[in-house]
Amino acid sequence: MAATDFLPALHSPYLATFARMVVGVVFAVSALGKTRNPPAFERAITNFHIVPAPLVKMAAYLLLCAEFMVFGLMLLGGRFLWVGFLFAVLLLLAFSAALLSVLVRGIKTSCNCFGPAEKPVTGSDLLRNVGFIGWAVVGWWVISSPDAQASLKAIEQILLAFLATAFVISWSKVGEIGEIVRGL
Q: Is residue 8 part of a domain?
A: no
**Structural domain includes residue 147:** yes
Q: Is residue 163 part of a domain?
A: yes
| pLDDT tens figures, 69-107 | 999 999 999 899 999 999 999 999 999 999 999 999 999
Total tally of structural domains belonging to the chain:
1
**Residue 106 located in a structural domain:** yes
Judge whether 110 lies within some domain.
yes
Strand, helix or coil for residue 51: coil
CA dihedral of 165, 168, 171, 175, whole degrees rounded to 10: -110
118-152 burial, b at 16+ Cβ within 10 Å, e below that, comes to eeebbebbbebbebbbebbbbbbbbbebeebeeee
Amino acid at 61: Y
Q: Name residues whose C-beta falls within 8 Å of residue 13's C-beta, 6 or more positions apart in sequence.
A: 147, 148, 149, 150, 151, 152
2 is a domain residue:
no
* pLDDT, tens digit (0-9, with 9 covering 90-100), for 33-54: 999 999 999 999 999 999 999 9
Mean pLDDT comparison of 5-9, 12-16, 163-167, highest-scoring range: 163-167
Could you list the residue range(s) of the whole structural domain that residue 162 is in? 13-183
**Running DSSP on this structure, what letter comes out for residue 151?**
P
pTM here?
0.89
Q: Has residue 89 been placed in a domain?
A: yes
